[in-house]
Chains A and B, each alone.
Chain A
Amino acid sequence: MTTESARSEPHPKNGIKLALAWLAVGVPLIWGVVMTLKKAMALFG
């Protein structure tokens, strides 16, 4: 592994930041998908 490539390895202190970043975009996206799926159920009702 090169010095450069080592930079791509997850750093422990990035863990919380990473989780928060994905939660910030993931939660609204999942909420939007769930709301849309609920609406889509009318097609099969």
Chain B
Amino acid sequence: MAGLLSRERTVAGPGFNRWLIPPCALATHLCIGQAYALSVFNLPLTRQLGVAKSIAGDWRLTDLGWIFTIAIFVLGASAALFGKWVQAVGPRKSGFTAALCWGVGFLIGALGIRSHQLWLVYLGYGVIGGCGLGIGYITPVSTLISWFPDRRGMSTGMAIMGFGGGALIASPLSDFLMRHFASPTSTGVVQTWVVLGIVYLVFMMGGAFGYRVPPESWRPAGWVPPPEKAKVLITQHNVTPGDAIRTPQFWLLWVVLCFNVTAGIGVLGQASAMIQEVFKDRITPSAAAGFVGLLSIFNMAGRFGWASFSDKIGRKPTYMVFFALGTALYALVPLTGKVGSVALFVACFCIILSMYGGGFATIPAYLADVFGTKYVSAVHGRLLTAWSAAGVLGPVLVNYIRQFQIDHGIPKNQAYNITMYIMAVLLVIAFFANLAVKPVADRYHEHAAPVGGPGDRRVPA
């Protein structure tokens, strides 16, 4: 088995089509993207004992919220911790491990729900599943960049689009399964988690065994690495993960990702309540749910669209667009509430959420441009700690400032205005952080022949 999973066994043979790699990456990301749809289980889990309604001893929503928090925290931590390992062992072994963690995490979680032991759910879905999330998230990045050096943004954008799309599948699928398994004595959650665990395990295994890495000397037909220029942020050198975190560029990009995610994640978590409160008596709960669905679609589409666009205009200018346009849109949102324009409000947030997704999807290519392609998964894993930080910062900013405003007599429909301006300020800071990103100093480059240089074995004789 160990041999079957080894990197050497995954080297592609002659005639291999590189377009077989994105579906494998999507198979992984579509499964782990379920994490964004976890809230669909919240209410049924609060009546596991009472079934029809909550009774004494049933779990509270606040206790259940920790399942997602733990999973996202472990995602960032495991991506940072195992990034180097993922890079070293190759996509098949890491994809296999991610599948095992994610599938088994669900099954242990189901056991926890069945036995009404919340700690077991935290351990299964949160910790073990969270490791599956982190390892699975970074698994395809390096492989895709190796296969698509000419379209780094598009290829990683396609995979990371899957993470956004996973929730679109998981939400209606979970709903369908729960209704199918529900009975007078069961909410159907346990059976649903067992089915999801098995389906995700099989699907992700399919992706893991489909991965291939290109041979050493491979490059796309007719493609030559672009010449390295002082002002262009595409390096032909590599920076090790250990050295990367010592560079100012890493921390500038950390701020870029963190603030871009902070701005989006806070809105995404509160979107339903926000639109109902801003447009009181005009937006029903089902229309608000439609708004959340629409945001999810733009979040997903933005991942592919913006990342592909970054191949045309460059990574740095793409983030310039995110932060300049994002600042303007956040500043505009209070006005849309004031004039009572639902359409303008929805349009602003759809564009904002597309850039939230785009920020996630463009960052691997940005890292490859700045630090080289050799260790990109490991560097990306370390940068994902910015996501963990934003996962706390975003909801805290939105929820606590809203509550503070309401406690001080501000009407509910205006309680988000200050938050929107704060988000705009965060994006201004991120704009300048992105502006400050320059090529990495020579002293950080790994002492090896640069990619495309005279000693590089990739260059055909």
Contacts and interface: CB of A to CB of B under 8 A. Distances in A.
Contacts of B294: 36, 40, 43
B289 interface: yes
Interface string A24-41: 110011011101110111
Given A7-B15, A8-B218, A35-B172, A41 B223 contact: no
Contact of A21 (B23, B168, B218, B297): B23
Contacts of A8: 17-18, 218-221
Interface in A1-45: 1-11, 13-14, 17-18, 21-22, 24-25, 28-29, 31-33, 35-37, 39-45
B291 A33 contact: no
A43 B15 CA distance: 48
Contacts of B289: 39, 42
A14 B215 CA distance: 18
B20 interface: yes
A14 B220 CA distance: 17
Contacts of A24: 23, 27, 206
Contact of A22 (B23, B173, B460): B23
Interface residues of B, number: 47
B210 interface: yes
A13 B169 CA distance: 31
Interface in B296-329: 296-297, 300
A11 B221 contact: no
B290 A32 contact: no
Contacts of A3: 460
Given A42-B289, A43-B346, A2 B460 contact: yes
B337 to A, nearest CB: 16
B217 interface: yes
Contacts of A7: 12, 14-16, 214-215, 218
A28 B169 contact: yes
B286 A33 contact: no
A22 to B, nearest CB: 5
Contacts of B26: 25, 29
Nearest to A20: B23
B66 interface: no
B297 A4 contact: no
Given A42-B287, A43-B290, A36 B296 contact: yes
B293 A32 contact: no
A10 B17 contact: yes
B297 A33 contact: yes
A11 B290 contact: no
Nearest to B203: A24
B460 A33 contact: no
B162 interface: yes
A29 B165 contact: yes
B303 to A, nearest CB: 12
A32 B164 CA distance: 11
B30 interface: yes
Given A32-B172, A43-B294, A14 B27 contact: no
B222 interface: yes
B24 interface: yes
Interface in B214-270: 214-215, 217-223
A18 B460 contact: no
Contacts of A21: 20, 23-24, 210
B181 interface: no
Nearest to B460: A2
B42 interface: no
Contacts of B220: 5, 8
Contact of B19 (A6, A10, A42): A10
B304 to A, nearest CB: 11
B290 A40 contact: yes
Nearest to A9: B221
B223 A5 contact: yes
Given A8-B18, A11-B16, A35-B168, A45 B293 contact: no
B12 A43 contact: no
A37 B300 CA distance: 13
Contacts of A37: 293, 297
Contact of A18 (B19, B217, B218, B291): B19
A21 to B, nearest CB: 4
A4, A31, A36 — most chain B CB neighbours (10 Å): A36
10 contacts: A7-B214, A8-B218, A11-B15, A17-B17, A18-B17, A18-B19, A35-B168, A36-B168, A40-B290, A40-B293
Interface of A: 1-11, 13-14, 17-18, 21-22, 24-25, 28-29, 31-33, 35-37, 39-45
